[in-house]
Structure 1
Amino acid sequence: MLTYLAGSKINIYGDTLKTTMGIIPKLSRFDLSMIVISLVIGMGIFATPAEVAVSLSNPYLYFGAWFFGGAISLCGALTFAEIGARYPTTGGFYKAFSYCFHPAFAFMINWILVISNAASVAAVALIGAEYISPVIMPAGLQNDTGIKIISITSVLVLYVINLLGIKMSARTQNVLTLFKIAMILLLCAAVFKGNTPAVTAHLNHSHINRNNLSGFGVSLIAIFFTYGGYQQTINFGGDSINAKVNVPKAIFRGMLVVISLYMIINFAYYYVLGIDGIQHRPALAAALAGVMFGATGYKVISLLMFVSVLAFINVNIMANPRVYYAMAEDGILPSIFKHINPKTQVQEFGLSFFVAAVLIILFFVGSFEKMMSYVMFFDTVGLSTAALSIFILRKKTKHIDITGIYTIKWFPFIPVIFIITYWLVTLSIFIENPTAALICICTFAVGLAIYFITKFSQKTKATP
């Protein structure tokens, strides 16, 4: 991800790792910073504060949880920065852990993260549906049923579009990221509008406010969901100019921007809506726009948020089947995942498999709050376990320390803090939603079974 010995013809890992000389570094520090920001800032910040406020109604605990979550996420980002620096290769999130542990373990972790991506797409689809539902749905369907209808319909429409071979360009990523930052700052300007006292929503108070350690732990489930995504930068090592300098700085600066934006917009939510208002308004961005611009602003921002959601879903529908393709190339998934339609250049089976996973999750889990438990159990287990590889890589690649590669300051405290915190959040999820945790554990087991079944099948076919 982060760095490699540019121009070197020496394979620093012996026969274990192929060189990446075919990749020409083109990404600047600014490009990398935009990548980090765009990977982290999705749609969560426009919905998860409501979940956090439910657990922590005390403003000091509320903001403290967001700051703490940002600091821990920064620890995780720096940990994966060194992992990428020590094992720079395309698809590093699979290759590095296969190198450190066992291919079966690497497959199980990546299998889970692929499923987690499907759950994330489903969760984001629900957020988008919550925003657009008051604009397009009749009053009688502005409920969970209407939101589910919009979510499923959106995914199916994009599935059909992708089957036709229509592709989205990634060249507008920097522009879209800057646009999203500008939109957040514009929403935050609501605090400067005159006569905007905190708007409270005197609805029902069935939520349980737990201003204690338990509530703090539960709130981190939503917060880490919102801060997640930086780990994907582990795949950009070969693309980075002067990676050993630029990537760590880009990750650090990108995460500082994210943390700052999250704290600012949370202050805007609190100033305009109050904690009680945050709790009862899932479409928070639209609520701020409504305060600033009235009913028209509410509708416009709702439409923009929904379009942003569609773009996120479409990118994932296009990208995730390629992960299956890479695994199938290594012989870990069945060869049908490699099949590409010669006319449309679409991985029809892989595409259908991913969309089916999204729809199944949407069908059985109809709320964003429940979805987060599944996504974050996958992520907390997967990322904390993957972070353990830094200790193995430090031993296996000790001989390259003199080359000036990026290393974490205050090692091993930074990765240890990250890993232990994620384990505690995993425990919180298990206590809060044991059904989701058990389902996720079974999914881990299914991934392990798929690996060994595939390998046994290959061995049987190879035997004369």
Structure 2
Amino acid sequence: MEKTTGLKRSVGVTSGISLVVGTVIGSGIFFKQAQVIATAGGSTPALLAWIFGGLITLAAGLTISEIGARIPLTGGLYIYMEKIYGKVWGFLTGWAQTVLYAPAIVASLSAYFAILFNNFFGLSQQWQLLVAILTILFITGINLLDNRVPAAFAVITTSIKLLPIIAVIAYGLFFGKVDALNQSVATVTATPSGGFGMAVLATLFAYDGWATLTNMGGELKNPQKNLPRAIVIGILIVVVAYAGISYGMMRAMPANEIVRLGDNATFGVVTQAFGKLGGRLLTIIILISILGTINGKLMALPRMTFAMAEDGVLPKWLAKVNRFNEPIGSILFLTVTASLLQFTASADWLSNIAVFIIWIFYTATFVGLFILRHRDKQAAQVAEPLQELESIFSVPGYPWVPLIAILGALFVLISTLINDFGSSIIAIGLVFIGLPVYWYYSRKKGEAYD
């Protein structure tokens, strides 16, 4: 039986695609080019790393799309994990995103925005904290209005952020004089993190955010069709954009020069193509791009917290909606926690921990598709069927596509554990701190633990 909420089904497929693209494409594509080339050891393996990372992400998106079509409810991974593995694991999924992933990712994005904003306007570092918090408050204000407003903001910012990507691709294709393929670099990353595999890992971090839309399953129009469409089309656009800008940059500038310029490589290509004014315009567009990404997070992630509060496993005030039927309690909770995190760890540490945690639950959810299909085979009828078989999206290439998603997820987790074991264990510990909270609310509701 589908849960009823105070949220409206008013988000269409175009807004859904914009949310996927806008949430994924932030600043990473503009700053990761040199890292991927240096880690991979040359231009051809770097380009392949972006493509491989995109294929893994597409496999993940297809897998989640079928699960989301079967369970078209507000709450995303929280609802999926609860339906597949039971209430304890559903709660821990939601808890991890509410208290760790969502605040950490919003805090890190706003910190990156503040750094770039201050550099552009020549402000001293002491303004960084204030700018970051004001950025969060600005996007919060947009998301407290009718959800058509942040949805429109997502469409606008996504359209704007694609402009420099298209420009770099076009410049590289039509005016670039460098052979983009078969270039080697003089200084390959000489650390345990070097190699093609770690280059793919770097791209997977840049692709993160594609599953954010699943949190809004209860607000999408016709979610059984539009959720898979939005996720798959959105990921395909991102893959083309990422591989395209990588190829375009390597056509415009030698790989060694890109590695030498590091984070400034994209600015170097744009300045080469369009002059100093072009470089400054790129900075403005990247700032808009990051705002769009923060908007996507603040638009979708509070829906999961809202769903948990509606279920009675978090304080009821988190399920409060305003006159626009927006989950004001959950949105403001994310606003406050993300703002407080500005006073703690660095943006890089926060973003790395956030991505590691979310991939733990991605992995379990991918495996869950096999469980759901097995249940369908075991019984023609169940007490509360998730969705009629003939009306749902099915993953093409099953079981190989979900297996690719699972292997990619395991690669992310194992690589992160090897490279940052201490932080990974801290993050896992913070997840399991949620168990006493779950026991408290289960006892309060008079339910048995499961």
CA shift digits 1:281-328 (9 cap, x unpaired)? 325443332222222221222123213323433554465445333322
Note closer, same or farther for the CA distance 1:81–1:286 as it changes in structure 2 (3 Å cut).
same
Deviation of 1:392 (Å): 1.9
Deviation at 1:161, TM superposition (A): 4.6
**Equivalence for 1:13:** none
| Distance (Å, rounded) in 2 between the aligned partners of 1:394 and 1:382 | 19
- Compute the TM-score of the two structures, normalised by the length of structure 1: 0.78
**8 Å Cα contact 2:12-2:221 kept in structure 1:** yes
Indicate the SS of the match to 2:195: helix
Q: d(CA) in 2 for partners of 1:193 and 1:136?
A: 33
Contact 1:327 1:333 in 2 (8 A): yes
Please say if 1:436 is aligned against 2:423. yes
The whole-number CA distance in structure 1 between the counterparts of 2:141 and 2:327 is: 8
Distance 1:27 1:86 in 2: 18
* Aligned length, in residue pairs: 425
TM-aligned CA deviation for residue 206 of structure 1: 9.1
- Percent identity reads 24
| Alignment gaps of 5+ in structure 2 | 180-185, 381-386
What is the aligned partner in structure 2 of residue 288 from structure 1? Answer: 269
Which one of the candidate residues 249, 256, 267 is aligned to 2:236?
256
Of the structure 1 ranges 418-427 and 404-413, higher mean CA displacement relative to structure 2 is found in 404-413
2:154 to 149, 153, 173: 173
Q: Corresponding residue for 1:101?
A: 85
Q: In structure 2, do the counterparts of structure 1 residues 325 and 255 end up closer, same or farther at CA, with 3 Å as the change threshold? A: closer
Matched residue SS, 1:91 = coil
Unaligned runs of 5+ in 1: 1-15, 199-204
Output the CA distance in 1 between the equivalents of 2:49 and 2:241: 15
Paired residue type of 1:155: A
User: Which residue in the other structure is 1:328 paired with?
Assistant: 309
Q: Relative to 1, partners in 2 of residues 1:269 and 1:366: Cα closer, same or farther, differing over 3 Å?
A: farther
Secondary structure, counterpart of 2:262 in structure 1: coil
Secondary structure in structure 2 of the residue aligned to 1:239? coil
Which string of whole-angstrom CA distances, capped at 9 and with x for unpartnered residues, describes residues 311-359 of structure 1? 43355446544533332221111234346789998846x5554244334
User: Could you tell me how far 1:186 is from its partner in structure 2?
Assistant: 1.5
Q: Is 1:448 equivalent to 2:429 in the alignment?
A: no
Over aligned residues, Cα RMSD in angstroms?
3.7
Which residue of 2 is the match for residue 11 of structure 1? Answer: none
- The residue identity in structure 2 corresponding to 1:153 is L
Of the structure 1 ranges 45-54 and 98-107, higher mean CA displacement relative to structure 2 is found in 45-54
Counterpart of 1:379 in structure 2 is 358
Which stretch of structure 1 is more off in the superposition, 306-315 or 382-391? Answer: 306-315
Question: Deviation of residue 426 (structure 1)?
Answer: 0.6
* 1:269/1:453 CA distance change after superposition, 3 Å: farther
Alpha-carbon shift at residue 441 of structure 1 (Å):
0.8
* Deviations 1:251-307 (CA, angstroms, capped at 9, x unpaired): 444332221111110112323344344444325443332222222221222123213
The equivalent position to 1:75 in structure 2, one of 59, 81, 89, is 59
CA distance in 2, matches of 1:416, 1:363: 40
Could you tell me which residue of structure 1 aligns to residue 403 of structure 2? Answer: 416
Deviation at 1:194, TM superposition (A): 5.4
Provide, for residues 198-239 of structure 1, a one-character-per-residue CA deviation record: whole Å limited to 9, x for no partner: 9xxxxxx998346x9963333333211222223234344773
C-alpha displacement of 1:401: 6.5
1:54–1:209 CA contact under 8 A, matched in 2:
no
Cα distance between partner residues in 2 of 1:68 and 1:34: 23
Equivalent residues in 2 for 1:341-360, closer than 5 Å: 347=328, 350-351=330-331, 353-359=333-339
Matches of 2:227 and 2:309, distance apart in 1: 30
Separation in 2, partners of 1:356, 1:304: 27
Q: Distance in 2 between matches of 1:363 and 1:130?
A: 15
Q: Deviations over 1:123-142 (max 9, x none)?
A: 3234434533432226xx5x
The answer as to 2:253 corresponding to 1:268 is no
Residue 24 of structure 2 corresponds to which residue in structure 1?
40
Structure 1 residues 66, 150: CA separation in 2 closer, same or farther (over 3 Å shift)? farther
Preserved CA contact (<8 Å) 2:33 2:258? yes
Q: 2:122 aligns with which of 131, 137, 161?
A: 137
SS of residue paired to 2:263: coil
| Runs of 4+ more than 6 Å apart | 22-26, 162-166, 195-198, 340-346
The amino acid across from 1:77 in the alignment is G
Q: Pick closer, same or farther for the CA change 1:196–1:329 going to 2, 3 Å.
A: same
1:407 aligns with 2:394: yes
Letter in 1 for 2:409: Y
Deviations 1:44-102, CA, capped at 9 Å, x for gaps: 21223343234223222211211111111111111011112222223343223211111
The amino acid across from 1:215 in the alignment is G
- Report the TM-score when normalising by structure 2: 0.80
CA offsets 1:409-458 (integer angstroms, 9 cap, x no match): 33222112211221122111011111221121112112233222332345
User: How far apart, CA to CA, are the structure 2 residues paired with 1:49 and 1:449?
Assistant: 43
Q: Which residue of 2 aligns with 1:201?
A: none
Query: How far has the Cα of 1:407 moved from its partner?
Result: 1.6
- CA distance in 1: counterparts of 2:229 and 2:336, whole angstroms: 39
Q: Distance in 2 between matches of 1:195 and 1:410?
A: 38
Amino acid of the residue matched to residue 122 of structure 2?
Answer: M
